[in-house]
């Protein structure tokens, strides 16, 4: 049995603004073992992004976020977030410099070491040769690869991905899903991956969780379908049906 890397205990998030208060996450408990690829599905507005932002240390909250049993309330290089937005790169920095920037912030000063780390990450996402290009010269899919390379280069304990492929066309999305499986087969990282797409969760996840408003966990099971997952099986159809029912369980009214 693997060790627990991330633990949420009674994680509660209340937003207060002029319109009033909203309890977006209500006492969420969750344990994520090392090397798990946890996919989280949930309807729009149920609190998925908020959950990731609390784990990343971008939001205040009550309850606890523990990494290796130690509380985290601020951002740190042990957790990194990859967003849906294609514009998460600095437009004035090249691919290489975008990837090296967080490495510099983490304290790496040696130029050869920075180059080695960025080259390695660029190769993992198959962008060798594009080091000196700027974001505006890249397609949406390539920009997302750079964002993933940036995360990989830091070698965080946990990568938090908020619908990173949602804005891509279906073919590019499939390609990047396959690459994620390949890359993560070689990596030590643990991933929490948010998606609206049931196929994507089944294809990528080693465990799948469905959230409903308030951060209520209505489904949480290991994904036992052998990888690479092919849709042409009874097991796939059954799992898809179960997840679809859990996802839409609160939408009839
Ligand atoms: N900064 C904020 N201030 C006030 N309310 C917020 C803030 N951020 C999020 N919320 C509210 O929290 C709820 C959850 O938002 P969140 O972005 O976490 O949902 P989500 O599950 O990621 O949705 P989607 O699938 O559409 O991305 C929403 O009702 C949203 O309006
Ligand atoms: Mg969101």
Task: Tell me if residue 204 falls in helix, strand or coil.
Answer: helix
Spatial distance between the Cα atoms of 198 and 247, rounded to a whole number of angstroms = 9
Give the number of other Cβ atoms within 10 Å of residue 58's Cβ: 15
Q: Are residues 32 and 148 in the same domain?
A: no
User: How far are the Cα atoms of 43, 44, 172, 195 from residue 226, in angstroms, in the given order?
Assistant: 27, 29, 23, 20
Q: Percent of the chain beyond pLDDT 90? A: 82
Q: In angstroms, what is the span from residue 164 Cα to ligand 2's centroid?
A: 11
DSSP 163: S
- Indicate if ligand 1 lies below 6 Å from the C-beta of 13: no
Domain end position, chosen among 133, 155, 177: 155
Q: What pLDDT does residue 12 have?
A: 98
Q: Whose CA is nearest to atom 16 of ligand 1?
A: 47
Residues 31 and 64 in one domain: yes
The tens digit of pLDDT for each residue in 24-66 reads 999 999 999 999 999 999 999 999 999 999 999 999 999 999 9
Judge if 26 and 54 occupy the same domain: yes
> Are residues 15 and 98 part of one domain?
no
Give residues with Cβ within 8 angstroms of 162, minimum separation 6.
48, 49, 52, 81, 82, 83, 84, 194
Same domain, 151 and 163: no
Distance CA 47, CA 13 (A): 9
Distance CA 96, CA 118 (A): 6
- With a cut of 70, say whether residue 238 has pLDDT above it: yes
- Say whether both 181 and 133 belong to one domain: no
Cα 114 to chain centroid, rounded = 24
Q: Which of 121, 138, 155 delimits the end of a domain? A: 155
The predicted model scores a pTM of 0.94
- Asked if the model's pLDDT at residue 200 lies above 70, the reply is yes
Total domains in the fold of the chain: 2
CA–CA separation, 78 vs 56, rounded Å? 9
Do 2 and 72 reside in the same domain of the chain?
A: yes
Task: Give CA separation, 51 vs 62, 105, 145, 212, in Å.
Answer: 12, 25, 24, 12
- Please report which confidence band the pLDDT of residue 240 belongs to, taking 50, 70 and 90 as the band edges: very high
243 and 196 fall within a common domain = yes
Note the pLDDT tens digit of each residue in 139-176: 999 999 999 999 999 999 999 999 999 989 999 999 99
Whether residue 241 sits in one domain with residue 120:
no
Is the distance from the beta carbon of residue 47 to the nearest atom of ligand 1 less than 6 Å?
A: yes
Tell me which of 17, 24, 167 to substitute to probe ligand 1's pocket, judged by most ligand atoms within 8 Å of the beta carbon: 24
CA 147 to chain centre: 11
Task: Identify whether residues 184 and 61 lie together within a single domain.
Answer: yes
- Provide the residue range defining the domain that includes 100: 86-155
Q: Choose among 77, 73, 65, 63: nearest CA to 26.
A: 63
C-beta of residue 42 within 8 angstroms of C-beta of residue 210:
yes
What confidence tens digit (pLDDT) does each residue in 185-196 have?
777 779 999 999
For the chain, give the number of residues: 253
* Residue closest to 222 by CA, chosen among 238, 235, 206: 206
Q: Does 187 lie in the same domain as 135? A: no
- From 11, 13, 14, 15, mutation site for ligand 1 pocket: most ligand atoms within 8 A of C-beta: 15
Q: Are residues 178 and 132 in the same domain?
A: no
In short, whether 189's Cβ falls inside 6 Å of ligand 1 is no
The mean of the pLDDT values for the chain is: 93
- Which CATH number is 244's domain given? 3.40.50.300
Last residue of a domain, one of 155, 177, 193: 155
Residue pLDDT, tens place only, 67-121: 999 999 999 989 999 998 878 899 999 999 999 999 999 999 999 999 999 999 9
């Amino acid at each position: 049995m693997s060790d627990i890397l991330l633990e949420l205990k009674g994680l509660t998030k209340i937003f207060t603004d002029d319109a009033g208060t909203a309890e977006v996450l209500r006492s969420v408990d969750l344990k994520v073992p090392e090397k798990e690829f946890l996919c989280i599905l949930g309807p729009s507005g149920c609190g998925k992004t908020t959950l990731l932002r609390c784990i990343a240390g971008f939001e205040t909250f009550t309850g606890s976020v523990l990494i290796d049993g130690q509380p985290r309330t601020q951002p740190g290089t042990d957790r990194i977030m990859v967003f849906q937005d294609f514009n998460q790169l600095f437009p004035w920095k090249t691919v290489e410099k975008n990837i090296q920037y967080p490495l510099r912030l983490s304290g790496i000063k040696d130029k050869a070491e920075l180059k080695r780390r960025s080259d390695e990450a660029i190769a993992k996402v198959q962008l060798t040769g594009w080091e000196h290009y700027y974001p505006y010269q890249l397609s949406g899919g390539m920009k997302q690869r750079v964002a993933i390379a940036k995360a990989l280069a830091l070698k965080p304990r946990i990568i938090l991905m908020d619908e990173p492929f949602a804005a891509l066309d279906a073919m590019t999305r499939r390609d990047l899903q396959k690459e994620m499986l390949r890359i993560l087969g070689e990596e030590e990282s643990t991933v929490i991956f948010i998606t609206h797409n049931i196929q994507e969760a089944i294809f990528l996840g080693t465990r799948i969780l469905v959230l409903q408003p308030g951060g209520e966990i209505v489904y949480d099971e290991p994904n036992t379908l052998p990888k690479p997952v092919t849709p042409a099986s009874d097991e796939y159809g059954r799992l898809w049906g179960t997840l679809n029912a859990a996802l839409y369980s609160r939408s009839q009214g």
